[in-house]
Amino acid sequence: MPDHKIILSADTPCDIGEELKSRYAVSLYPLHIILDEKQYTDGYDITSAQLYEAWWKRKLLPRTAAINPEEYQSYFQSFLDQGFDVIHISLGSGISSSHANALIAANALSGRGNVYVIDSCSLSTGFGLLVCEACERIKAGLPAKQIVEEVSALTQDTRASFILDTLEFMRAGGRCSSITQIGAALMNIKPTILVKNDRQGSMVVGKKYMGKLAPSLMKYVDDQLKDRNDLILDRVFVTHSGMDDPATIEKVVARIKELQPFREIFVTQASCTISSHCGPNTLGVLFLTKPGSKASE
């Protein structure tokens, strides 16, 4: 048994959902959402649907703000005061300053207790997968340092990607040009966004699908999972930003079951932090692969 009790913490964009949050007793710390010069707390007092409505009706684009070092320090201190070692898994350092800020806070608390910060090198349930892996190790009674070493080694084995229904939010947020967005809309192109864990969570455009969303999603799922023998089959996430047709999610889950014998399939909705950048009707299939496996392009 470990010498100290361990609390597992993560940033809210890990998107693991209430079922897993409860199962593992994970503490999630929320990022900030700024809309119309008002600050909201992700997951508490604003929803993705409200963000979309603000854009479509008033052309108000939300901004996201990382957790600052002082917030992290106070948050971590509350656990140290209760005698916990803290393991915190952060949003990938390639897309957010949250990781750097958590490190600053952990260093400031040096000597008062043990706070370990892991760069997930991913986003959404790409690092939710790591949260689950850390929690399973805590349940098994492993010491904090060993958990940190083992989970850190898994960061390059997460596979996170999403297929977008619209580039409107990416364009508005400066992540693609207006010309690209207009061209994709005219040609009915549904691009895939790949999260590059070898670049600490930065994103690139992957395969593009042409046509309506539902059949494009089926092709995307096939491309991600069909005939693969390098998967860790403990769990897979289907994470979405809010779908106009919930039946689409059911079809994706059914197709996953046909392709691979995952022991658990979790359907979760993305946090406002994630949804504000990708827009509605975005869906991804996220999983772990065996060490050394090549990521899909």
Question: Cβ(158)–Cβ(126) under 8 Å?
Answer: yes
- Average pLDDT on 106-121 reads 96
Q: What pLDDT, on the 0 to 100 scale, is given for residue 52?
A: 86
Question: Cβ(286)–Cβ(123) under 8 Å?
Answer: no
Distances (CA, A) of 253 to 151, 216, 260, 283: 27, 15, 11, 12
Q: What pLDDT, on the 0 to 100 scale, is given for residue 186?
A: 36
* Domains of the chain with CATH codes: 5-34+64-156 (3.40.50.10170), 158-289 (3.30.1180.10)
| pLDDT tens column, 183-220 | 444 347 788 889 988 878 787 888 989 888 999 999 99
Q: What pLDDT, on the 0 to 100 scale, is given for residue 222?
A: 98
| pLDDT tens column, 279-292 | 889 999 999 999 97
Model-level pTM greater than 0.85? yes
- Checking if the pLDDT of 180 tops 70, the result is no
Give the alpha-carbon dihedral of 41, 42, 48, 50, to 10 degrees.
0
Question: Cβ(33)–Cβ(40) under 8 Å?
Answer: yes
